[in-house]
């Protein structure tokens, strides 16, 4: 009897994921699909609202990375108010950068300590009652405390730059609404251990080393699990450096050949298309010059380290050189190396935060600039999970009449499907029994991309994931919830 393994949401909430693995009567994988019920109502929701509200409104989309949406919308509005992406005052741009790198730092720290470290420390097929953040707290309390404090540090940076805990108002069209006081700065520079930037850099470096140590002992798993060639896309600084806040759009293929050669992202529609497939609500973006079949790409930490030429901070650059040397300078197509790349970015973010905190521009008073208004603007940012596109057009009454968003998880739609398929074919096919460890392997592949699945609401009763085993007649044989 053919059967189907389904990992699906139990509620209707937008943004939840579902994995379906179709097996034949001999348990061989016939097909696999990763569905995310993407919420597409936002574009309609903002229509008719004044453009200056967008940076605050967009935070309704996501309680996980509101800062990314806030800044991407603000960047688009910079264009609309005629300041342009490069015309902010130094204080405004650096305050936004501090906000953004604070977010990147806390998000990457959370991902590693909360989600990835249990798999690495206990193994992906370990008892799930141990393989979790509580297990880490029991067996490796120092590491768990580091995770907590790194998150807290990043959150505090966001709080002083965004201005509010909920629906921050820090970035406004053409600038920022506050600078950083000396007292606020000194909290981060000279705060009591461990909540200071020096300690954050030290711990970030330790996290990179923890991964490298694990990699040495588990080369086969880390190098081969869900590895497949792909194109890679991200923003890069004009000189080729890693820049998570601003730059030009670059894409390389699996061999490192440039597909998009540092193009202006205001023209992204010339280069990026979005394919609709009947079985998924989420679109599949692709690079137009390569077509729908071959134009899909990865975004996120791995893609970024594959597109950039260097990292402009000392310690992260040293790690980057080691990372690049591992693949002899070629793009790295190993999904599990996403964690390595993410930790190098964690270190880089901590170093950038230190640089910014020592920059006197953050205490200056030119917060906002004005220019000649235009009707349309695009804002791109490298969010923790990858490139985030915001595109708006306004009418004569200053109301938004069109919005288009391509979020990081949408950009990674095809790669996540490929990763799930790799696990299905290589680890599930032909097996007589589907164990919890095997199902976790599917999740490990998805987790590498840290997709944004449940951004909108978190009310009690909304379970993020359930796992169902369904036979060919549609009967649920087994069901697990997470």
Binding site for other proteins (CB under 8 A): 11, 13, 41-42, 45, 57, 59-61, 63-64, 66, 107, 110-111, 113-115, 128-129, 132-134, 137-138, 141, 144-145, 147-149, 151-152, 155, 165-167, 443, 446-447, 450-462, 464-465, 482
**CB of 141: closest distance to other proteins in angstroms?**
6
Residue 96 CB, nearest distance to other proteins (Å)? Answer: 20
Any idea what the Cα angle at residue 13 is, between residues 56 and 67, rounded to 5°? Answer: 25
Q: Which residues pair with 250 in a beta bridge?
A: 234
Q: How far is the CB of 360 from other proteins (least distance, A)?
A: 30
Q: What residue spans of 327-435 are helical by DSSP H? A: 337-357, 408-411, 413-423
Report, in Å, the least distance between residue 75 CB and other proteins.
20
Of 144 and 434, CB closest to other proteins: 144
Strands (E), 253-296: 258-263, 272-275, 284-287
- Which C-beta is closer to other proteins: that of 133 or that of 263? 133
Q: Report the run of H or E that residue 31 belongs to, with start and end.
A: strand 29-36
- Smallest distance, other proteins to C-beta of residue 405, A: 13
Closest CB to other proteins among residues 83, 226: 226
**Residue 90 CB partners (closer than 8 Å, separation 6+):** 361, 364, 366
Which of 30/134 has CB closer to other proteins? 134
Report in angstroms how near the CB of residue 459 gets to other proteins at its nearest. 4
| Cβ distance to other proteins smaller for residue 158 or 235 | 158
Distance in angstroms (rounded) separating the CA atoms of residues 318 and 436: 39
Closest distance of CB 212 from other proteins, Å: 22
Nearest approach, Cβ of 127 to other proteins (angstroms)?
11
**Cβ at position 260, least distance to other proteins in Å:** 29
- Which CB sits closer to other proteins, 128 or 371? 128
Q: Which residues on neighbouring strands pair with residue 7, listed in sequence order?
A: 19, 467
- Taking the least distance from each CB to other proteins, the nearer of 287 and 383 is 383
DSSP result, 196-242? SHHHHHHHHHHHHHHHHHHHHHTHHHHHHTT----EEEEEE-TTSB-
**Contact yes or no for 452/15 (Cβ under 8 A):** yes
Q: How many residues does the chain have?
A: 482
Q: Is 8 helix (H, G, I), strand (E, B) or coil?
A: strand
Cβ neighbours around 173 below 10 Å, total: 25
Q: Could you tell me the smallest distance in angstroms from the CB atom of residue 183 to other proteins?
A: 16
| C-alpha dist (Å) from residue 269 to 28, 80, 132, 159, 274 | 41, 17, 42, 34, 10
Give the pair of three-digit tokens for residue 78.
């910079």
Quote the CA–CA distance of 8 and 420 in Å, as a whole number: 14
Question: Would you say 72 or 272 has its CB closer to other proteins?
Answer: 72
Question: 324 or 342, CB closer to other proteins?
Answer: 342
Closer by beta carbon to other proteins, 57 or else 272: 57
The β-bridge partners of 466 are 8, 481
CB 472, CB 454: distance < 8 Å? no
Cβ proximity to other proteins: between 167 and 393 the closer is: 167
Which residues contact residue 285 at a Cβ distance below 8 angstroms, ignoring those fewer than 6 apart?
A: 272, 273, 274, 275, 296, 297, 406, 410, 411, 413
3-state secondary structure of 27: coil
């Amino acid at each position: 009897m053919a059967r189907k393994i389904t990992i699906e949401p139990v509620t209707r909430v937008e943004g939840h994921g579902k994995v379906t693995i179709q097996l034949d009567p001999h348990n061989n994988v016939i097909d696999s699909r990763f569905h995310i019920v993407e919420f597409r109502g936002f574009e309609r929701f903002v229509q008719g609202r004044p453009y200056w509200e967008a940076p605050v409104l967009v935070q309704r989309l996501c309680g996980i990375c509101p800062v990314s949406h806030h800044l991407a919308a603000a960047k688009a509005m910079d264009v609309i108010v005629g300041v342009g992406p490069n015309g902010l005052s130094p204080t405004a741009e650096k305050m936004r950068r501090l906000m953004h790198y604070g977010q990147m730092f806390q998000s990457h720290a959370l991902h590693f300590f909360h989600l990835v470290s249990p798999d690495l420390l206990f193994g992906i097929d370990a008892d799930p009652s141990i393989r979790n953040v509580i297990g880490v707290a029991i067996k490796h309390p120092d590491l768990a405390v580091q995770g907590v404090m790194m998150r807290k540090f990043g959150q505090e940076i966001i709080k002083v730059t965004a201005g509010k805990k909920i629906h921050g108002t820090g970035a406004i069209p053409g600038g920022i609404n506050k600078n950083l006081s000396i007292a606020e700065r000194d909290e981060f520079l000279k705060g009591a251990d461990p909540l200071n930037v020096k300690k954050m850099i030290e711990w970030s470096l330790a996290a990179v080393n923890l991964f490298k140590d694990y990699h040495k002992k588990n080369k086969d798993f880390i190098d081969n699990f869900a590895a497949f060639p792909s194109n890679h896309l991200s923003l890069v600084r004009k000189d080729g450096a890693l820049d998570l806040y601003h730059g030009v759009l670059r894409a390389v293929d699996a061999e490192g050949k440039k597909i998009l050669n540092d193009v202006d992202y205001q023209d992204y529609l010339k280069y990026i298309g979005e394919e609709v497939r009947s079985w998924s609500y989420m679109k599949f973006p692709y690079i137009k010059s390569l077509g729908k079949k071959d134009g899909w790409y990865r975004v996120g930490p791995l893609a970024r380290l594959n597109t950039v030429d260097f990292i402009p901070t000392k310690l992260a650059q040293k790690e980057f050189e080691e990372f690049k040397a591992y693949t002899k300078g070629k793009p790295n197509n190993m999904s599990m190396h996403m964690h390595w790349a993410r930790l190098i970015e964690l270190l880089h973010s901590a170093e950038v935060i230190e640089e910014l905190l020592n920059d006197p521009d953050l205490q200056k008073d030119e917060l906002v600039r004005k220019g000649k208004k235009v009707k349309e603007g695009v804002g791109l940012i490298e969010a923790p999970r990858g490139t985030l596109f915001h595109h708006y057009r306004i009418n004569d009454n200053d109301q938004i009449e069109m919005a288009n968003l391509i979020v990081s998880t949408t950009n990674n739609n095809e790669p996540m499907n490929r990763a799930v398929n790799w696990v299905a074919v290589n680890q599930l096919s032909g097996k007589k029994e589907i164990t919890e460890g095997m199902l976790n392997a599917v999740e490990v592949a998805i987790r590498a991309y840290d997709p944004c699945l449940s951004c909108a609401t978190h009310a009690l009763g909304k379970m993020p994931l359930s796992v169902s085993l369904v036979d060919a007649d549609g009967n649920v044989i087994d069901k697990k919830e997470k």
